[in-house]
Chains A and B, each alone.
Chain A
Amino acid sequence: DARVTQTPRHKVTEMGQEVTMRCQPILGHNTVFWYRQTMMQGLELLAYFRNRAPLDDSGMPKDRFSAEMPDATLATLKIQPSEPRDSAVYFCASGSNFRMGETQYFGPGTRLLVL
């Protein structure tokens, strides 16, 4: 049963610290998405990749957030420096290709708390 995995599942850190979240997409999927979920904003798309290339990261605060795919099996989302307003659940999702009706499969999320 192929799944998207994310690490860590929970992270508590202090303001100003660097946070790195990792995602392993489903093997063979070529699109990867990063979302942030908060009570106030709901689900927000931060960035997405196709074939490891970033296609859109307009939803991401550029000054502190960065997203990369070092290889096809790993996507990372980094926050440096972190701020309390970054506290949220961060989801990674992957999909198989770019055709109509493509389904995105979500990981379990990383729950981040910045104190």
Chain B
Amino acid sequence: GNSVTQMEGPVTLSEEAFLTINCTYTATGYPSLFWYVQYPGEGLQLLLKATKADDKGSNKGFEATYRKETTSFHLEKGSVQVSDSAVYFCALILSGSARQLTFGSGTQLTVLP
């Protein structure tokens, strides 16, 4: 089956620190990969996505590269801000009739001033 594994949180960083949140996946085909972010009390928002191997998704200073050889899609940001504090979800979707997002368990990030 399809699955997404994220590094367990919570992750606590100081402002301006470098962020990496690991994400690996298992899929029976060639998925599209996503990072969603959930701020406190809100729904999930798409942060970035990549649809094929070696694609890099980027948004708001965050980046993730689709690595087929390591089945990974790690999220990175060079300098985090307090406003980045949220829960981050890695997810995949496969082509075909079952257009379901498969989510990882989420990683809580807290950035301290």
**Chain A interface (Cβ < 8 Å from any Cβ of B):** 4, 31, 33, 42-43, 45, 48, 50, 55-56, 91, 93, 95, 98, 100-109
Contacts and interface: CB of A to CB of B under 8 A. Distances in A.
B17 interface: no
B28 interface: no
B101 A106 contact: no
Given A56-B100, A100-B51, A107 B46 contact: no
Contacts of A43: 89, 103, 106
B95 A100 contact: yes
B62 to A, nearest CB: 16
Contacts of A31: 99
Given A42-B106, A101-B51, A109 B99 contact: no
B44 A106 contact: yes
A42 B93 CA distance: 17
